[in-house]
Amino acid sequence: MEKAGIDLLIVTDPANMAWLTGYDGNAFYVPQCVVVSKAKDPLWFGRGMDANGCRRTTYLGEDRIRSYEDHYVQSDTLHPMMVLGQIIAEEGHGSATIGVEKDNYYFSALSFEVLSTALPNATFKNADRLINWQRIVKSEREIAYMRGAGKIIEVMYQRISETLRPGVKQSDVVAELTHAGTRGVGEYWGDYPAAVPNIGAGADASAPHLTWSDRPIRPDESIFFELAGVHKRYHCPLARTYYLGKPTPQILDAEKAVLDGMQAGLEKALAGNCCEDIAQAYVGQLARYGLVKTGRSGYSIGLGYPPAWGENTASFRDGDKTELRPGMTFHFMTGLWYGDWGIEITESILITERQVEFLSNVPRKLFVID
C-alpha cells in the first residue's frame, strides 16, 4: 500500500477478503468489503444479517465489524456505499488516498460513483490486483489444501470414467461427478467450486464455457469436462476429454499435439523462468502440428469464489514476464477450440525448487470408452 501511495484500501474481491481476514460467506451478491488501513485491524463492512457470518469466520473484534440496514439492499434510492462513506469519514479517512478494486465483479460502477460522492475530499486510486499479487506464492498450508483439492479431482474423474456411457444423460454424469467432488477423499471434504463444470460434447466442444443439459451421451463423439476439486475454497482445476467409441484420426492427432506441447511447456515450468516461456513452448510445439492457439495457456490459481477460480494475476501468454517462483500454482490451461470441435487436457501445477509438481494424478491422455 505504501509503495502504491495508498492510505486506505477497500477490498471487495471475496477471495482477497477471505485471504486477509478469513471471512467466508456466500453473501457477495450484496455490497461488502474489507477496509485495510495502516493503524488498525481490517474493518469488515457488509449487510446487517451477514455480520454474524463475519463474527463466526474471522478474528475481527466487535469494533471492526460494521454493517448497513436491509433497506439499503437493491434499492433505487439508497446504496450501501453511502454508509461506507460515512464510516470512512468517521474513522478520519475522509481526505485519504483510497485504493479500490475498480475491475472487481463486486465493485460496480455505481458503487464507485456513490462512494466518490460520499467522500468528496478523498482521492481514489485503482488498486486492482494489489492483494491478488500478494496471494501468488502459496504457504505450506495453502499448498496442502491444494494437494487435497488435487485428490478430490482424481475421484471426480474416476467417477466420470465409471459413469460416462452412451445413452446416459449429461446431467446424470454431472450429478455423479459433483457428488464425488463434494464428498471428497478422507480428510479432504469437498467445497464448492468458484465455477460450475464446463462441458463440451460433439460440436459443443468448440465452445469452452457451456454447461450441461439432459442431452444423452452419444457414441462416436468426444466430450470434455473442465472441473475443479476444491478444499476449503482452494482449487485444483483439471480438464480431460473422453471419446466414446473408436477415436477419429483428428482427435488422436490433437491428443498427440496437446500432449507433446504440454511436455514442452512443462519442461519450462521451472523457478527462474517466466510465465511466457511456458506459453511459447506450448504454442510453438502445437504449431509443428499445424495447430494455432491464440488464447492464454494458463493462469494462477488458489483461493477462489464465484464466478471464477483464477487469481487474475499471472497468465501463461506472450509478454507475461512474471518470474516463476517456488510455491506458485497454475492451471496449465491447454484447451483448444476450433470451428466444430475442441479438446481439453490440462494440468494444475506447483512450481518448486526443482522440477514441476502436479497437484493431481489423473492420467494425462484422451480417455477412450469403448
Query: Does residue 113 bind its own copies (CB under 8 A)?
Result: yes
At 102, is the secondary structure helix, strand, or coil? coil
Looking at the Cβ atoms of 143 and 152, the one nearer to its own copies is 152
CB-based contacts of 245: which residues, under 8 Å, 6+ apart?
A: 166, 219, 220, 221, 368, 369, 370
287 binds its own copies (CB under 8 A): no
Q: Which is nearer to its own copies, 95 or 126 (CB)?
A: 126
* Binding residues for its own copies restricted to 333-362, rule: CB under 8 A: 337, 339
Q: What number of chain residues touch its own copies (CB under 8 A)?
A: 83
Q: What's the closest the beta carbon of residue 33 comes to its own copies, in angstroms?
A: 13
Considering only residues 56, 141, 246, 325, which one is a binding residue for its own copies as defined by CB under 8 A?
Answer: 56
Least spacing, CB of residue 135 vs its own copies, in Å: 14
Task: For its own copies, give the closer residue by CB, 201 or 351.
Answer: 201
Q: From 86-94, 100-108, 234-242, 321-329, give the range in contact with its own copies by CB under 8 A.
A: 100-108
Classified as helix, coil or strand, 309 is: strand
Task: Please say whether the dihedral angle defined by the alpha carbons of residues 189, 193, 197 and 198, taken in this order, is positive or negative.
Answer: negative
Kindly tell me which residue out of 65, 112, 218, 253 binds its own copies, with binding defined by CB under 8 A: 112
Instruction: Choose among 75, 28, 296: nearest CA to 44.
Output: 28
Interacting residues of 60 by C-beta distance below 8 A, sequence separation 6+: 21, 41, 42, 43, 44, 54
The answer to whether 255 contacts its own copies (rule: CB under 8 A) is no
C-alpha span between 30 and 46 (Å, rounded)? 8
Provide the minimum distance between the beta carbon of 32 and its own copies in the complex, in angstroms, as a whole number: 10
For position 43 contacting its own copies by CB under 8 A, the verdict is no
Taking the least distance from each CB to its own copies, the nearer of 26 and 355 is 26
Kindly identify the residues of this chain, within the stretch 208-237, that bind its own copies according to CB under 8 A: 208-214
Residues within window 57-76 making contact with its own copies, judged by CB under 8 A: 57, 69-71, 73-74, 76
Query: Nearest-CA neighbor of 298 among 181, 288, 281, 206?
Result: 281
Q: Does 102 bind its own copies (CB under 8 A)?
A: yes
Give the nearest distance from C-beta 208 to its own copies in angstroms.
5
Three cell numbers at 37?
Answer: 488501513
Element (H, E) at 159: helix 140-163
In the numeric block, the cell 490451461 is attached to 333
Annotate each residue in 154-193 with x if it binds its own copies (CB under 8 A) or - if it does not, as one string.
---------------x-xx-xxx-xxx-xxx--x-xxxx-
Using the contact rule CB under 8 A, the part of the chain among 104-112, 245-253, 259-267, 358-366 near its own copies is 104-112
Kindly provide the residue ranges of all beta strands, DSSP E only, lying in 214-366, ordered along the sequence: 221-231, 234-244, 299-305, 308-315, 329-332, 336-337, 342-343, 347-350, 357-358
Q: Cβ of 77: how many Cβ atoms within 10 Å?
A: 7
Q: Say if CB 285 and CB 254 are below 8 A apart.
A: no
Binds its own copies by CB under 8 A, chosen from 4, 5, 22, 29: 29
| Residues shown for the chain | 370
Shortest Å distance, C-beta 370 to its own copies = 26
Q: Which of residues 301-320 bind its own copies (CB under 8 A)?
A: 306-308, 310, 312, 315, 317-319
